[in-house]
Chain A
Amino acid sequence: MGEPKGDRDEEFQAFVIAVWPRLLRTAYLLAGEQYAAEDLVQSAAERACASWSKVRRADDPYAYVRRILVNQHARRTRRRPPELLVEAVPDAAGTEDGYARSDQRGALLAALATLPPRQRQAVVLRHWEDLSDSQTATAMGCSVGAVRSHAAKGIAKLRQVSALVELKDRTHIGGAV
């Protein structure tokens, strides 16, 4: 406790500056929309600020805040039906160029948006944040079995999206976007 308040504030601000881009990208995948993502991350950061003395003592402060972010996302989507950002996912992407890649980005976001929130969280945390099942379970506040179930169902749905066919053949990212 003896630490001056100003130092704590500076430490928190430095932490937020460092993790903000990564959190924003994760929130973007969860929320599917820029402004909703910004709102989600700000809300999580405010809660982290309120509990900073606890967050900073955590083994992995980023993981702590990510869990807050996921909880916030769950809370906001609990009473709402899954968002549909587009009326229909496009049937096929065009040729392999920047525009096609951009289409696929949109298609993936649109496909993610059709997943129920818990499935979306499981897929994003495992495949974007690259967490193990147990780490994902910690972040989502559920059992490992539930994570596996959510992720399997979510991925099965994504596999069925024809607009993502080209992505499935991809094993690397390259070229200008």
Chain B
Amino acid sequence: MSSNGDHDADVWIGLGMAQAAAGTRIVPAPLADIVQGGRRIRRRRRTVVGAVALASVVALGGGALAQLRPAPTGSGSATSLVPAAAPDPAAALAKRDPLRPARTLLAEGTTNGHAWKVWRAIWPLAPKERAYEQAVALWQERSAYDPRLTRPTEEFVRQYWQPDSDLVNDYVEVDGVRQGHDSGGSIVADGHISEQASRQTTFGAGMLGHYGKDEPGPFFPAEIGLVDLGPRVGKVFVTWSDGTRTEVPIVVVPFSPIRVVALAQPQDKRSTLWEFFDQDGQKMPNEGTTLFR
């Protein structure tokens, strides 16, 4: 290690730390988040811009939510599955083409006179040789609404390509116009979910467009929360702070094993309990979902 005497005498500490450091799990660097975070910091330094953003946030967040209405499910008057591609044959083709995403309407509503819709686009698993082409196509689509997104590098795509994952892009439309502040990532692809994973209740939950304390939003008329669910989940109930308990509709996303609950956050109450049941009505474990709590 170092050349000074004390340091040499304590070489065991360096060796021990090398062993301890070897236990670190090296996860991929979340480059998109890092770059966005860096730009947020830069923007925050420009205080005038920050003040304007704050004012618009206050204006957007001030009103009460007019509705809390996820997209209707099969029992309702309209179908919750709204793939952008044509029905089955074309959709099946879309599934095979990594440059043709299948889009599903997750939720919609009207808040303060603004109609909003939440969409999930599944970009099908691409073979490694087309992964970069797909990543660029997704970036082109997203960057048209959020110019802060950086173009992916071929090196990055090659390094982190997963042989079992689709790309996923959740985004919001307000009054028919797609907004920035979407989310992008990867998600287990149809036919690639393991038996063990398929028994999982949730695969993550969070607010769409919530980037943390530096830029807390809201970015849309309503704040949107999403919970990704395993394929065995049949019903989801939320108990609210006012004592009411509601079943929240589950959206089955075509060509994806992951189902979704998408909700607008109510302003007058918080969730106190999330409960999950399988298709036989058996209770499934809540793996820590605390959305809207």
Contacts and interface: CB of A to CB of B under 8 A. Distances in A.
B15 interface: yes
A170 B12 contact: yes
A167 B16 CA distance: 6
Contact of A126 (B7, B16, B41): B7
A104 interface: yes
Contact of A104 (B6, B7, B19, B31): B19
Contact of A109 (B20, B26, B29, B34): B20
Contacts, number: 143
Contacts of B33: 42
B159 interface: yes
B169 to A, nearest CB: 20
B34 to A, nearest CB: 5
A50 interface: yes
Interface string A100-138: 011011101100100000000001101110111100000
B12 A167 contact: yes
A101 B18 CA distance: 12
B38 A13 contact: no
Interface stretch (B150-158, B173-181, B277-285): B150-158
B16 A108 contact: yes
Contact of B15 (A46, A52, A172): A172
Contacts of B10: 127, 155
Which secondary structure characterizes the binding site on chain B?
Answer: helix
B75 interface: no
Interface string B10-32: 11111111111111111101110
A42 B30 contact: yes
B4 interface: yes
Contact of A13 (B16, B25, B26, B156): B156
Interface in A1-49: 6, 9-10, 12-14, 16-17, 20-21, 24-26, 28-29, 34, 37-38, 42-43, 45-49
A43 to B, nearest CB: 8
A74 interface: no
A6 B152 CA distance: 10
B38 A29 contact: no
A28 B19 contact: no
A164 B16 contact: yes
Given A13-B150, A16-B29, A37-B24, A123 B16 contact: no
Given A13-B150, A109-B20, A49 B35 contact: yes
14 contacts: A12-B35, A13-B35, A13-B153, A42-B30, A45-B29, A47-B41, A105-B19, A112-B20, A126-B2, A127-B17, A155-B6, A155-B10, A167-B15, A170-B15
